[in-house]
Structure formats: structure tokens, C-alpha cells
Amino acid sequence: MLMNIPQRKGFTLVELIVVITILAILGTIAFIALQEYPLYARNVKRIADISTIANSLNIFKISAGHYPEPNNTFSVTYNGAIAWTQGDFWEIAFKNVANLSKIPSDPLTQNYYSYSITNHKTEFELGAIQEWWFFITNPLSQNTYAALLQARAYTDGDYNGQMLRVSTGSTDYILSVPTILTSEIQDMTIEDVIANNSFVFNGYRNAPGTYISNGYSWTGAFQYNPINLVAWSGSLQNLENESERALLATNLKTNYNNTPDLQNQEPYSTLIDTDEENATAFVTNAIAYNNGGLYVNGIDEENVVPVTLLSSTSSGSWSTWGDCVFGSSNFGECNFQ
């Protein structure tokens, strides 16, 4: 008598591939979920550290009239003159400031934060990173099959973000400089920084130079393309003339308008769109607050005027953004209506 023996079926190759893919996706999701909280905690600590350092530096400046030198410094120059000095916030600066019990450092890499001061030592910028997950997606299936840990720059400080004076001999140069942080750690010219695309700008992947040994510092993510780095040159006192301030304002607008990465960033987009009268008033206020080392006899805080900034809407018409008086930190304070 013949007996029917049931046949055992195995998994097909397609079924195995589907199962493995699902397990891989679930594993990625679980890994990210487990890593998300410490990542968030590190980002919060970096923001708190930078804020604490900035407050301590501001307290020091109130008493000393300038900011302390960074550690491990290198210089960024124009025409042989120092534009800014960059390094890290370590022993020299730490010993000068108050309200800090220890030197803050990055919670992941343990390096100290980047710290730059202008050649006049009256403006500064600090740099750190913010971590985030970069997901790799199959363009055909739209399925996520991998995630990479990436970093973006996080910056803060009172650098005005638009203009910086450099003097050689009897000539003053006002340079269109959006930031005083680079992703490199060597003496170089501003022209080199522009050519290497190594400016560190908030929110972009060019990480500050102090992270270079940890593999987090890149170049090329932020591209600055000024028509002419020098927005104005001559004797600084000539800026007492309104026509000279109007020329400076026009050149600033042209330089920042030629940089796509800045065209939609405030305050650059608003400066680009505003009319000549208000752009000139903006420069007048910047001089009044000595932004970028612009000191002109006859123009001080008594000369500050409200600037009605205009920005084109999506329909192409003009809309009023309200009265704005630019100050010496964070591009000014505006009460938009």
C-alpha cells in the first residue's frame, strides 16, 4: 500500500529577499529610535554651551571693551592685513571670562568650540555642530534602506554678518563677509576661503575648523560668490557723505544677490529687495553702531533712523515689513508689522 507523504515546501528566493528587506528596515528604524534621544541631548547641550560662552564673552567685553583672544589661532587676511582671528574657546579665553566653572566642550567629539574675533576685537562668532540623520531612499520604491549620521554647522555671536573693515596703510577696505568662521585651521586669505568654499554658515554642512580632526569638517557645502569682495574702499571718513554710503549699500546688495545660498536668507534677502534709500539708511545705522569696525566721526547712535524694509511678494508686488532699526548683534532688532 502506497502512502502519501506530504511534501515540505521551503521559502522561495523572492520571499527570503522580502523578509530580509523588512528586517533590515525594522532594524534601521529601531537603531535610529535608540540613538535619537542621545543625539537630541547632545544638540541641546551644544546650544546651551554656545549660549553660556557668548554670555560670558559679552560680560568680559563690557568691562574690557574688547573680546579675549582665542586659543590655537590662525589668521584670515586681506591684502596682508588681518581680517579676523580664528581658533577655539580654550584656556586663554576661559581664564579671562567669568561665570564658567569649566571649559565647555562638544559632548560627542570632546573638542573645544570654534571661536573667532574680528581684527578690531569688537565682534565674535562661535561655532559648533548639530547632528541629524540623513536617510538614503530607493528612488524607485521610495523605501528607506539606510541612515547616516550627519552634522550641520551651528553658529552664534554678535558678528554683524554683512561687512568687515580691513585697513592697510591709509586705505580702508569694507569687505562683504557673511561670517568669520571657516572649516579650515590654517593661515589663509579671504580669497582662499571663497575659492575653497570653506566659509562656515549656520545650517550648512561646512562644520567649524575645530571639528576637522573628528571627520566632521567639510568644505563646499556653502558657496559664497561675491561680484567683488571689496564693497567699498577709501578713507573711512568719506562715508560721512551719503553718496558714499549709497555706493556701499549698492555693492553689498549686488554681492549678496549673486550668492544663491543667501538670496532667501534673512537679513540678506530683505537687504537685496529693499530700495536704495532704505539700503543707504541701513548702512548709516550699521556705521552708527560701529558694525564691522566702521567708525566714522559725525555718525553715531544719534543718527540712527528707522528703516522701512521692503520685500517683494510672490506676486511681484511690494509689501512693507515694518520699521526696523539695526543694532550691533544678530543683524539688528526688527519689530515686523
pLDDT score at 5: 56
pLDDT score at 148: 54
pLDDT score at 324: 34
pLDDT one digit per residue (tens) for the chain, 337 residues? 555 555 556 667 777 777 777 777 666 655 555 556 688 899 999 999 999 999 999 999 999 999 999 999 999 999 999 999 999 999 989 988 977 889 999 999 999 999 999 999 999 999 999 987 665 555 555 554 444 567 899 999 999 999 999 999 899 999 999 999 999 999 999 999 999 999 999 999 899 999 987 766 666 788 999 999 999 999 999 999 999 999 999 999 999 999 998 998 888 988 898 888 889 998 999 999 999 999 999 887 777 766 654 333 332 222 223 333 333 333 333 332 2
C-alpha 265/C-alpha 276 separation (Å) is: 20
pLDDT score at 313: 31
| Structural domain boundaries in the chain | 17-224, 237-337
Cell of residue 177, nine digits: 563677509
Under 8 Å between Cβ of 222 and 194: no
Q: Which helix (H) or strand (E) holds 136?
A: strand 124-137
SS3 call for 16: helix
pLDDT score at 326: 34
pLDDT score at 12: 77
pLDDT score at 27: 66
Distances in Å between the Cα of 50 and the Cα atoms of 57, 104, 154, 260 are 10, 8, 9, 28
Residue with cell 574690557: 64
C-alpha 277/C-alpha 5 separation (Å) is: 94
Distances in Å between the Cα of 174 and the Cα atoms of 149, 157, 234, 294, 333 are 39, 20, 9, 8, 23
pLDDT score at 30: 59
DSSP 53-102: HHHHHHHHHHHHSSPPPPEEEEEEEETTEEEEEEEESSHHHHHH-SS-SS
